Amino acid sequence: MKILKRISLRILLIAILGGAIFVLALMVYFNFKQPVQNIAEPPADTASLVDKEVENINLPVRLKIPGIGVDAAIESLGLTAAGSMDTPKGPDNVAWYALGTRPGEQGSAVIAGHYGKWKNGQGSVFDDLHKLNKGDKLYIEDDKGMIITFVVRESRNYDPNADAIEVFSSDDERAHLNLITCEGIWNKAEKSFSQRLVIFADKE
Amino acid sequence: MQKLNRFLIVTVAMVLMFGLTESVKAATQVPLLTAGNFAVLGGSTVTNTGSSVLTGDLGVSAGSAITGFPPGTTSGTTHSNDAVAIQAQVDLTAAYINASGQACDHNLTGQDLGGKILTPGVYCFDSSAQLTGTLTLDGGGDLNAVFIFKMGSTLTTASGSKVSLINSAQSCHVFWQVGSSATLGTTTKFKGNILALTSITLNTGATINNGRALARNGAVTLDSNTITKSTCATSSDELTNGSVNETEVTSSDIKVKKTASDYKLNSGPKKVTFTYKVTNEGDVALSDISVKDDKCDDVKYDSGDSNNDNLLDVTEEWKYECTKKVKKTETNTVTAKGTANGERIKDTDTAKVTVSTPGLPNAGSNPDEADSSLWMQIMSWFSF
């Protein structure tokens, strides 16, 4: 009887230890998990889907930025009560300013996405937006499955209350896509980051 | 004796015939004497606003106040309680008594004069008279046909109503004897001599072409009217060759309405298309139409000249457009012009486009809330 007890106690301890290691391993794995898997660039030879001279621009449904692993659904949003562009409720989606230009139309289409950590430690879709460089590609997929390509031209920082006329409109006859997120330091009182980051891109 | 008898018989016969024919014509010409020199004669005052045009003398007596000239104008002389005006009032009183004394042929009490076609005679109203629409006076080919209207109290015409003369009827033979006051509604086209006991009021744009506004005791009040004193043609040639002009003066009016494709731009500057609709609100076609916007350069005619005669006809609505990129909040004004009756008239309209740019989005999440205990993290992946 005593031997049996001793054996079962050891097994029990091993089991617990094994379980703990397993749990730890899982935690380590999920902590370092990438938010999205590698996104393959759309095949350049699929002529029917790649952007061409489209006269009727459709509604955007997905934003893909392979360089920083972004593949996000696009919500259509407008203004907050205070007159600022609204933002998506969660960390994964991006928001297109639907009162303005459609991506691909002449003018400046604007898409915003969150930056920073959420309750469960999860990151936001535009956490790596600041890593984009001139020449990087952005892809908009519309509701008909067509892809429109944009090329990053520059990035700029703004105060949260800055006049954003150059972000929301343009004077040339071209199509632009501007991405907005936050950066800087979190201001607890304002419940806001200290800066806004805007990536300016032009239709290819 | 036989020659004398024959002469007498012929004379008597002629007199009788003349008398008979005369008595059939119940209305006789009312002699105005010196009051006939005036287009407007007031009793207490004459007050004018706007660019009224009088052809004939202007006077007042026993009051002496005449205001509003200019901007009103008169082709004749102005008499403010002078001997001429005093005499004119004496003659007006006699004319008034003459008209009111003529026996009534037709009692139209309670009937609207609008829509009626009347032959020469004396028409009376126990109290007030109203004109709504068009009254036609038919002279029956007789240049001397006389029409007398007598009313116990007021004469009122509705807006846009009209007196029309046909078959040799002439304004100089039309008389309105008003027991109290006469009021002509806006844009009334009136004809004849108004002899009022109290006052006469012409509302905006009413005209008396031809005729007179003669008030014994009260005021004559004018507002952008034309009054041309009537003269009598004695032959039909004078009517047709224009020596005596009974043709109606037509009014000209133009109107423009402006709309924008967007009044509120929410994302900064954007192309806006302005649409202009131009209509002719008068009686006569307008020529040389021009439409200009003070903040949009390229106004283009789109459509509307259905008969292609290059004139903005009374039934037409012409559409123009102009597109521009509105960069900041602005109000712009369109001016539409046209020509008719020898004058260039215009109308304007405005549109305000408000441009606002949204504020930058607050696209950050609170890292403090992301601090969680080990326990929270374990719980979180359990909920996958």
Encode pLDDT of B283-298 as tens digits: 788 989 999 999 999 9
What is the spatial distance between Cα A164 and Cα A97, in angstroms, rounded to a whole number? 13
The predicted pLDDT at position A36 comes to 42
Interacting residues of B339 by C-beta distance below 8 A, sequence separation 6+: B286, B287, B288, B345
Provide, as residue numbers in chain A, all residues whose Cβ is less than 8 Å from the Cβ of B267. Answer: 97, 99-101, 108, 110, 168-169
Domains in chain A: boundaries: 1-33, 60-203
Closest in B358, B369, B378 to A97, CB measured = B358
Residue A80's nearest CA partner among B268, B359, B264 is B359
Minimal C-alpha gap between A109 and chain B (Å) = 10
Which homologous superfamily does the CATH classification assign to the domain defined by A60-203? Sortase (2.40.260.10)
Whole-number percent of chain B with pLDDT over 70: 89
Count Cβ atoms within 10 A of the Cβ of residue B76 and give its class: 0-12 exposed, 13-18 middle, 19 or more buried. Answer: middle
Check pLDDT > 80 for residue A8.
Answer: no
Beta carbons of A57 and A23 less than 8 angstroms apart:
no
What is the spatial distance between Cα B352 and Cα B350, in angstroms, rounded to a whole number? 7
DSSP code of residue B204: T
* pLDDT band, residue B149 (cuts 50/70/90): very high
Contact B359 A84 (CB under 8 A): yes
What is the spatial distance between Cα A192 and Cα A158, in angstroms, rounded to a whole number? 13
Provide, as residue numbers in chain B, all residues whose Cβ is less than 8 Å from the Cβ of A169. Answer: 267-270, 357
Provide, as residue numbers in chain A, all residues whose Cβ is less than 8 Å from the Cβ of B364. Answer: 114-116, 181-182, 186, 192-193
Beta carbons of B366 and A116 less than 8 angstroms apart:
yes
Nearest CA in chain A to B373: A120
For the question of an ipTM over 0.85, the answer is: no
**With a CB-CB cutoff of 8 Å, which residues 311-370 of chain B face chain A?**
356-370
Contact A110 B268 (CB under 8 A): no
A193 touches chain B (CB under 8 A): yes
B67 touches chain A (CB under 8 A): no
Torsion of Cα atoms, B69 then B72 then B77 then B82, to 10°: -40
Domains in chain B: boundaries: 24-240, 254-355
**With a CB-CB cutoff of 8 Å, which residues 29-88 of chain A face chain B?**
30, 78-79, 82-87
Contact A116 B270 (CB under 8 A): no
Beta carbons of B66 and B45 less than 8 angstroms apart:
yes
Q: Is the whole-model pTM more than 0.80?
A: no
Beta carbons of B173 and B232 less than 8 angstroms apart:
yes
Of the candidate CATH numbers 3.40.50.300, 1.10.10.10, 2.60.450.10, 2.60.40.10, the domain formed by B254-355 belongs to 2.60.40.10
Probe site for chain A from B360, B374, B384 (most A CB atoms < 10 A): B360
Give B72-128 pLDDT, tens digit per residue.
999 999 999 999 999 999 999 999 999 999 999 999 999 999 999 999 999 999 999
Give B256-280 pLDDT, tens digit per residue.
999 999 998 887 888 899 999 999 9
The predicted pLDDT at position B371 comes to 47
B267 touches chain A (CB under 8 A): yes
DSSP string, B130-144: EE-SEEEEE-TT-TT
What are B360's two structure tokens? 């930058």
Pairing of strands B57-60, B254-260: unpaired
Check pLDDT > 60 for residue B281.
Answer: yes
Nearest CA in chain A to B326: A171
Q: 3-state DSSP call for residue B18?
A: helix
- Phi/psi of residue A11, nearest 5 degrees: -60, -40
Provide, as residue numbers in chain A, all residues whose Cβ is less than 8 Å from the Cβ of B368. Answer: 186, 188
- Which one is predicted more confidently, B270 or B148? B148
> What residues does B261 pair with on adjacent strands?
none
The predicted pLDDT at position B7 comes to 76
B382 touches chain A (CB under 8 A): no
Q: 3-state DSSP call for residue B77?
A: coil
Residue A102's nearest CA partner among A162, A49, A144, A164 is A144
What are B195's two structure tokens? 């002899």
Provide, as residue numbers in chain A, all residues whose Cβ is less than 8 Å from the Cβ of B328. Answer: none
Torsion of Cα atoms, B151 then B153 then B158 then B163, to 10°: 20
Pairing of strands B317-326, B300-303: antiparallel
Check pLDDT > 50 for residue A46.
Answer: no
B83 touches chain A (CB under 8 A): no
B270 touches chain A (CB under 8 A): yes
For chain A, how far is it from start to end, CA to CA, in angstroms?
79
- Phi/psi of residue B88, nearest 5 degrees: -65, -40
What are A56's two structure tokens? 């009727």
